[in-house]
Amino acid sequence: MKLMPFLSRTFLSRKGGGVFSIFLFFASWVSAPGASAQLRDGVNLPDHDEKFYHLGLALIYNSSHLQVSAHPQFLKTDTVLSINPVNTGGFGVAGMHTFTFSKHWEFRIVFPELQFSYRNLQYSLNPNYPLSQGDQLLATKRIESILLGFPVQVKFLSDRIDNFKVYMLGGMNYQYDLASNASARKAGDLVKLQPTNLSIEAGLGFQFFFPVFILSPELKFSDGIMNIHARDPNLKYSNVIDKLKSRMIVFSLIFEG
């Protein structure tokens, strides 16, 4: 079975095929005629799998939003009609420290990981209720975060096919929000977040071996398990919310030596 046609039929026939097209672009590049001569000359970085420790750098793009659980106060209020999370993009960088334990298993520590994230909430307000100065019927509250993360992950890798591998990963991520506004006194109409969070992560990646480095496009899903909402009963945008949990999709380009 040819690898590239099989991957194309599998991934591009499903939802989200656009994301996997990026992965397949790199695979096509490696298998292009210009690269075939290089493959015939031998396998790139043949001793890589024998190394116990690998150092890498990741360039990150993230899409995140907040999962909202309404407070009983929401049913009693006359001001807010609905609350909708909005997906927004962000970026980041990270250092990758990978330890090889066997042919198919690796343990990875990501540090430092720094991500800039924007998680917005859109409020629909009641037009029949007196609004404060500056309020709009459709109000968006922009919540900015600077997330310092410490993910630990386990990777399961396939056998190497020439200069190509596939892997799956899972793990946990502890994050501290350097821009947390939980202690802000002049809150006004803010929605305040707690500074710490813990997430469960799972993902899929591909390794492409080049003569001097390895490129790994990786797609990862992160689900927060902690309530990060610092509820304030005195704030109309905050008192209608009980819990806020983070959700994030992370696409990374990882370069390893």
Quick one: pLDDT band at residue 142, thresholds 50, 70, 90?
confident
HSE on the CB side for 165, CA within 13 Å? 22
47 contacts: CB under 8 Å, gap ≥ 6: none
CATH number for region 47-256 = 2.40.160.20
pLDDT value of residue 108: 98
pLDDT value of residue 145: 92
Q: What residue segments make up the domains of the chain, in order of their start?
A: 1-42, 47-256
How far is residue 56's CA from residue 238's CA, in Å, rounded to a whole number? 41
The mean-pLDDT minimum among 23-27, 130-134, 160-164, 190-194 falls in: 23-27
pLDDT value of residue 7: 41
Model confidence pLDDT, tens digit, residues 41-78: 579 999 888 899 999 999 999 999 999 999 988 888 77
Taking CA 166 as the corner, what is the angle to CA 158 and CA 18, rounded to the nearest 5 degrees?
Answer: 155
Based on its alpha-carbon atoms, the radius of gyration of the chain, rounded to whole angstroms, reads 22
Mean pLDDT, the chain, whole residue set: 83
Secondary structure (DSSP) of 45-98: STTGGG-SEEEEEEEEEEEEEEEEEE-THHHH-SSEEEEEEE-EEEEEEEEEEE
Quick one: pLDDT band at residue 233, thresholds 50, 70, 90?
confident
- For the chain, helix (H) and strand (E) counts, in that order, are 4, 9
Examine the pLDDT at 4 and tell me if it is beyond 90: no
Examine the pLDDT at 84 and tell me if it is beyond 80: yes
Examine the pLDDT at 225 and tell me if it is beyond 90: yes
How far is residue 183's CA from residue 173's CA, in Å, rounded to a whole number? 23
Task: Give percent of the chain above pLDDT 90.
Answer: 56
Nearest to 125 by CA among 113, 137, 115: 137
